[in-house]
Structure 1
Amino acid sequence: MAEPLPKDFRLPTIKPYTGSVDPRAHLNRYRAAILMTTASNAVMCRGFFSTLDGQAQDWFTSFPEGSISTFADLSGRFLSHFASSIPKKKHFATMCKLEQFAAETLTDYLTRWKKEAWSVENFDEKAVVPIFTSNVRSRPFLRDLVQNSPKSYAALLYRATKFAEVEETEQRKKEEESGRQDKAPKEDRRAPRPPRQGPQLAPLRCLTPLTHPISAILEHAKVMGIVSYTAECLKISPNTDPNKYCRFHRQQGHDTDECMVLKRHIEELIQRGYLGQYMKRLGQGRTQGPSNV
């Protein structure tokens, strides 16, 4: 306790150890942080207490005064006391069961493989090469391994990483090409497809009762790409009200839900086979808004 602290010395700020996780990891973090200073062996022992909490702190304070002579002595006692929190290594034979899933990418499999390999005891880099070859599913990579077996485990991982990068690039390319094809508006899958030579429309004397406001149905129809903005929509009524706005005409003059032109257009779409989910059935009340707008 009489050992002077180095100039500008600051205790390392690492997560306190409570005794529930691997003590080796905590000890390594402390050493890495304290070695950046010019702290002596005595200061290392004294500063270690500040990185403990809970039962680990109780353990430290239980030492009789003067019972710790070096940091190596303290480290040994620390690892011995919390040895039960050190994760047990798995048997090497567990690698034989680590097969690539059918829908698992090579990148994900490599991540899972490396994590498992790290937890294996007495890892044999020579014996693991044929095991990896037997467990992998990716066909192009598997053919390459069979035709040209890697000479080392490091060479195997390097080649696997390269094939994983190619696999990811090809997948992104497919998604981009598929996205360009899907950019064209699609009709609602729940609505029946209209015949190629449009049906004979029923007279629009009576409008079909609807479950949602016309303005809400308009937004859904716009997403489907079935709204037609004809020349009629551009006519400005002489009885305009500047306080109202029609999202169908995109101009002031009247409210969207009061627009007769829009109501007739929605009715026409319904008669053509679209927007059937908004037709009010017998006994059905109005909801708050369409769930898929």
Structure 2
Amino acid sequence: MDELQKKIDERDGSPEPQDVLSSPFANAIMEEPLPRDFRFPTIKAYSGTTDPRAHLTWYRAAMMITEATDAILYRGFFATLDGQAHDWFGSLPAGSISTFADLTRQFLSHFATSIQRKKQIADLCDLKQGSSESLAEYLSKWKKEAMGVADFDGKSAMVIFRNNLRSGAFYQDLIRYPPRTYTDLMDKAARYADAEAAEKRKKEQEEGRGRKDKAPQEGRKAPRPHRREYAEGPRLNPTRYLTPLTQPVGTILAHAEDQGIVVFPKEECMKISAMGDPNKYCRFYRQKGHDTDECILLKR
């Protein structure tokens, strides 16, 4: 370190002494040599924004695999810090740490605001089963939240779980036959959840078959009427969407009849409109009500 500082002074040409990194560890910790085959594990750096307890747990687990001595355990901790945590470590007084317990205590104390509060059993009281939430969905949500509760009390959890359920067969069963342990409660809830899901699938299958059975019957009950049975009859006024003809439609009908290329309706199939003129006659439909030249259906 002195040799490095000397080189820095010579390069800068400055007689002022530079800051030298001081260690907060006791001399006995710093004097222990690093094993030749030691490889420091890769650990995500801690910057002070997450739970410090989690970082300590990861660090100790990683160092435990390397079988490092206590001295190496202390000295390696600095290499896992970054940002605010790095600055905090550099501010520790020289020789102020002689055990890992000292390091842990000061580390947790400084970053106490980043420690996540553990859930309490009372927090589960707000975990209600939704109005449209299945028992399987609620059970999955409950287990996920219950795993994070500190000092979990099974007896209290049983009461809270039952009170948070919607009314129904499962709730009534818990009232009549209360389980003895929390494990029994979870097993019973799982069985009811499976039965509820099977019942839902069964209903969906039955409803699907019912819809298929009804579809043909509905078709027979309300057959689509034939075009010629419409009650309004032919329109008497021509529309602008028809292609203009060079000859009256009656003349064209007569020519088509001579050529044998027209098929006349076999019977009167168009009802006479209330607005029809009984003095007019259509040779195509062979009925009164409109003139042949006015027959829109014949034009089409």
The TM-score normalised by the length of structure 1 is 0.54
- Kindly indicate whether the alpha-carbon contact (under 8 Å) linking 1:12 and 1:34 is maintained by their aligned counterparts in 2: no
Aligned positions, number = 196
**Out of 38, 45, 51, which is 1:16 matched to?**
45
RMSD: 3.7
CA separation of 1:46/1:113 partners in 2, compared to 1, >3 Å: closer, same or farther? same
Partner of 1:256: none
CA separation of 1:53/1:169 partners in 2, compared to 1, >3 Å: closer, same or farther? farther
Measured after TM superposition, the shift of residue 72 of structure 1 is 2.5
Measured after TM superposition, the shift of residue 182 of structure 1 is 8.8
**Out of 135, 138, 143, which is 2:172 matched to?**
143
- Kindly indicate whether the alpha-carbon contact (under 8 Å) linking 1:6 and 1:38 is maintained by their aligned counterparts in 2: no
* Aligned counterparts of 1:97 and 1:78: Cα–Cα separation in 2: 34
1:31 aligns with 2:50: no
**Out of 90, 97, 107, which is 1:78 matched to?**
107
* Aligned counterparts of 1:20 and 1:36: Cα–Cα separation in 2: 26
Residue by residue over 1:227-251, the C-alpha shift from the partner in whole angstroms, topping out at 9 and shown as x without a partner, is: xxxxxxxxxxxxxxxxxxxxxxxxx
Partner of 2:227: 200
1:45 aligns with 2:45: no
* Aligned counterparts of 1:171 and 1:139: Cα–Cα separation in 2: 15
Which residue identity lines up with residue 196 of structure 1 in the other structure? P
Partner of 1:234: none
* Aligned counterparts of 2:167 and 2:184: Cα–Cα separation in 1: 17
* Aligned counterparts of 2:170 and 2:113: Cα–Cα separation in 1: 41
Residue by residue over 1:171-192, the C-alpha shift from the partner in whole angstroms, topping out at 9 and shown as x without a partner, is: 5666677788999xx9xxxxxx
Higher relative contact order, chain-length normalized (CA < 8 Å, sep 6+): 1
Which residue identity lines up with residue 36 of structure 1 in the other structure? I
> Tell me, what secondary structure is at the counterpart of 1:72?
helix
* Aligned counterparts of 2:199 and 2:63: Cα–Cα separation in 1: 47
Partner of 2:33: 3
* Aligned counterparts of 1:4 and 1:71: Cα–Cα separation in 2: 17
Unaligned 5+ residue runs, structure 2?
A: 1-29, 216-221, 231-238, 242-300
Unaligned 5+ residue runs, structure 1?
A: 187-194, 209-293
- Kindly indicate whether the alpha-carbon contact (under 8 Å) linking 1:3 and 1:42 is maintained by their aligned counterparts in 2: no
1:54 aligns with 2:83: yes
1:159 aligns with 2:188: yes
CA separation of 1:135/1:69 partners in 2, compared to 1, >3 Å: closer, same or farther? same
1:131 aligns with 2:139: no
- Kindly indicate whether the alpha-carbon contact (under 8 Å) linking 1:5 and 1:43 is maintained by their aligned counterparts in 2: no
